[in-house]
Amino acid sequence: MAKLVLQGVRKRFGQNLVLDGIDLTVSQGEMVCLIGASGSGKSTLLRCINLLEPIDDGTIHLDGVDISEPGYDPQAVRTRIGIVFQSFNLFPHMTAAQNVMLAPRRVLGRRPEEMAGPVEALFDRFGLKHRMGHYPDQLSGGQQQRVAIIRALAMSPEIMLFDEITSALDPELVGEVLDVLRQLRAEGMTMVLATHEMGFARELADTVCFLDGGRILERAPPGTLFTQPREERTRAFLSRLL
Amino acid sequence: MPNPDQGGAAALSAAPTRREIHEARLRRRSGAIAAGSTLLVIGAIVLFVPMAPGWEAVRRSFFNAEVFRKTFPGLLEAFLVDVAIFLWCAPAIALLGLVIALCRDVRAPALFPLRLFGALYTDVFRGLPVVLVVYLIGFGVPGLGLPRPWNSPYIWGSLALILVYAAYVAEVIRSGIDSIHVSQRSAAASLGLSEADTMRYVVLPQAIRNVAPANMNLFIALQKDVALLSFIGPVEIFRQAGVYKSLLANFTPYVGAALIFLAITIPATRYADYLLHRQRRRQS
Ligand SMILES: Nc1ncnc2c1ncn2[C@@H]1O[C@H](COP(=O)(O)OP(=O)(O)OP(=O)(O)O)[C@@H](O)[C@H]1O
Ligand SMILES: [Mg+2]
């Protein structure tokens, strides 16, 4: 069943048309990877999906409801769609646990004592139980990024968006964050991720979309897209990576 | 990334390296040069200033030990008035400054008048000499012929200080708010936090911490400017020194007052500098 449907989504910054008619369908439990050159619009697309950026044209349906309609409450959408950024964006004045508990407390009205158990379980699941009381600057990049993922998961989102979450990490820390994604994948989380990790996309994605100049130029299962790209530009992009 | 092992490694190597010995020697040498030149300057002052023709007269009227001993306790007591005025003004300033700063940050179009008010407020009160505001409010409002407790210069003088300093504090807080990167607001929004919660839990705590040293400098300036209230009545230290001066025909009480101010402001300024320095180091 289609969980998320984008139709003809356009987004411009001033004169710059950054998304030029994006059509994308994401099914329940599907993992979609967005690949493409820098500036092709991957981050913008993700930010539009959870309404951090308003779109100029087209529609976005979540469970059949048009969430892109002007006036639709963005807060309600953001509690259902989580996003993790390249640069972690943890709140530096709060411990890892406080980072995770802020939104459930303020947005969902959870009381700290009822959250304590589930939050600890979440930290434990991603191997960070002993870091709950640490501040972000006391954590490695990989640990910070995992806390950011836990923070998004604590809202029990139905869809997770990941924007190049390993790009700012030292190579030896990439693995631990990818492991978290593998775990989420195994649990059946619906995910859309922008990534430069082609090996990872190939291993786990159901679908890979190649973005070019604000359009989805090619969309296929990884086995097809990486080995027999249909478009010349896709081939050029992939050959530059290898 | 701070490496916890570094400290341990340094502590382990007990014997100083060749470079450490060299650097220690350099440090000792520059320390000796600094001490030497300072002594030279002080020596010159002690030697030559008393040779000035008017020195005897200045010493008698500004540095009279007898007058100093007689007036210093009274000055200290009067300084308590300064401290009291400071203590009730400071929280009011912090609160009003915060409110004005928040006014200037509202985005909703319906609240535009608040924004305008905030901008006007800070422009006006930062654009006037403090002493002028003290005069206008301190003389002007009681001039309305208000009944007994309400015509007190303490109230209206304090209000003048509160109004002026809140404008400066608001600007400092606003610069702190601006210094928080948009990605922090973005992250908060992406979790579904409202604008108000984002400000209260994410932006403000960081902003206020970032500008704490700047605010401390403002409050040090406030402690000094309390003396301006002497112009409209309250007998605080500056006024008390004036009374002693007329009484004893001697300026030493002013020097005493200056020393009392410095005893407070120098340590406070040093502490603010220390905070700033520590913050810079942490951010780099
Ligand atoms: N807030 C903004 N204001 C103006 N232009 C923007 C803004 N955000 C993105 N852009 C522009 O939109 C285009 C697409 O940017 P986007 O960040 O979505 O690309 P990307 O595919 O994520 O690139 P990268 O791989 O470098 O992250 C770029 O040309 C960028 O300059
Ligand atoms: Mg990007």
B190 touching chain A per CB within 8 A: yes
Question: Which of the four pLDDT bands, split at 50, 70 and 90, describes residue B275?
Answer: confident
Structure tokens belonging to residue B121: 């407020």
CA B200 distance to own-chain centroid = 26
Q: What is the DSSP string of A47-73?
A: HHHTTSS--SEEEEEETTEE--STT--
Q: What is the pLDDT of residues B167-193, one digit of tens each?
A: 999 999 999 999 999 999 999 999 999
Pairing between β-strand A190-194 and β-strand A159-163 as defined by DSSP bridges? parallel
At residue B141, the pLDDT reads 85
Distance from the A166 Cα atom to the nearest Cα atom in chain B, whole angstroms = 17
DSSP one-letter code for B198: I
What is the number of other CB atoms lying within 10 angstroms of the CB of residue B268? Answer: 15
Residue B120: beta bridge partners?
none
At residue B12, the pLDDT reads 54
Q: Which ligand 1 atom minimizes the distance to the CA of A164? A: 27
Q: Tally the C-alpha atoms within 13 A of residue B242's C-alpha that lie toward its C-beta.
A: 11
Q: Rounded to a whole number, what is the largest CA-CA distance in chain A?
A: 57
- Ligand 1 neighbours (beta carbon < 6 A): A 13, 16, 18, 36, 38-44, 164
Alpha carbon distance B259, B241 (integer Å):
12
Q: What is the pLDDT of residues B38-57, one digit of tens each?
A: 999 999 998 888 888 888 88
The whole-model pTM stands at 0.85
Pair B232, B137: CB distance under 8 Å = no
Residues B134-158 have a mean pLDDT of: 86
Alpha carbon distance A92, B210 (integer Å):
12
Query: Which residues in chain B have Cβ-Cβ distances shorter than 8 Å to A85?
Result: 183, 186-187
Pair A41, A18: CB distance under 8 Å = yes
Residue B64 has pLDDT above 60, yes or no: yes
Question: Which of the four pLDDT bands, split at 50, 70 and 90, describes residue B280?
Answer: confident
Contact B190 A83 (CB under 8 A): yes
At residue A171, the pLDDT reads 87
B225: nearest Cα among B100, B93, B123, B97? B93
At residue B9, the pLDDT reads 46
Look-up: residue for tokens 């493409």? A36
Pairing between β-strand A31-36 and β-strand A57-62 as defined by DSSP bridges? unpaired
Q: What is the pLDDT of residues A112-124, one digit of tens each?
A: 999 999 999 999 9
Ion ligand 2: residues, CB within 5 A, are A 43
Q: What is the DSSP string of A83-135?
A: EE-TT----TTS-HHHHHHHHHHHHS---HHHHHHHHHHHHHHTT-GGGTT--
Question: Which of the four pLDDT bands, split at 50, 70 and 90, describes residue B5?
Answer: very low
Structure tokens belonging to residue A195: 């990534």
Least confident of B47-51, B138-142, B280-284: B280-284
Residues 6+ away with beta carbon under 8 Å from A200: A178, A181
Dist. CA A45 → ligand 2 center (Å): 9
Q: Rounded to a whole number, what is the largest CA-CA distance in chain B?
A: 79
Q: Which whole-number Å values give the CA distances from A91 to A95, A133, B189, in the listed order?
A: 8, 13, 12
Question: Which of the four pLDDT bands, split at 50, 70 and 90, describes residue B6?
Answer: very low
Q: Which residues of A24-59 are buried (b: 16+ CB within 10 A; e: fewer)?
A: bebeeebbbbbbbbeebbbbbbbbbbbbbbebeebe
Query: Which residues in chain A have Cβ-Cβ distances shorter than 8 Å to B186?
Result: 52, 85, 89
Look-up: residue for tokens 């589930």? A118
* Number of cross-chain residue pairs from A and B with Cβ atoms under 8 Å apart: 62
At residue B4, the pLDDT reads 44
Dist. CA A136 → ligand 1 center (Å): 27
pLDDT > 90: percent of chain B: 68
* Segments in chain A below pLDDT 70: 242
Alpha carbon distance A226, A208 (integer Å):
9
Q: From the candidates A49, A75, A95, A158, which should be mutated to test the interface with B, based on the most B CB atoms within 10 A?
A: A75
Alpha carbon distance B227, B81 (integer Å):
10
Q: From the candidates B1, B182, B191, which should be mutated to test the interface with A, based on the most A CB atoms within 10 A?
A: B191
Q: Tally the C-alpha atoms within 13 A of residue A15's C-alpha that lie toward its C-beta.
A: 0
**ipTM for this model:** 0.92
Pair A51, A44: CB distance under 8 Å = no
Look-up: residue for tokens 């948009």? B182
Pair B82, B240: CB distance under 8 Å = no
Q: Which residues of B168-188 are buried (b: 16+ CB within 10 A; e: fewer)?
A: bbbbbbbebbeebeeebbbbb
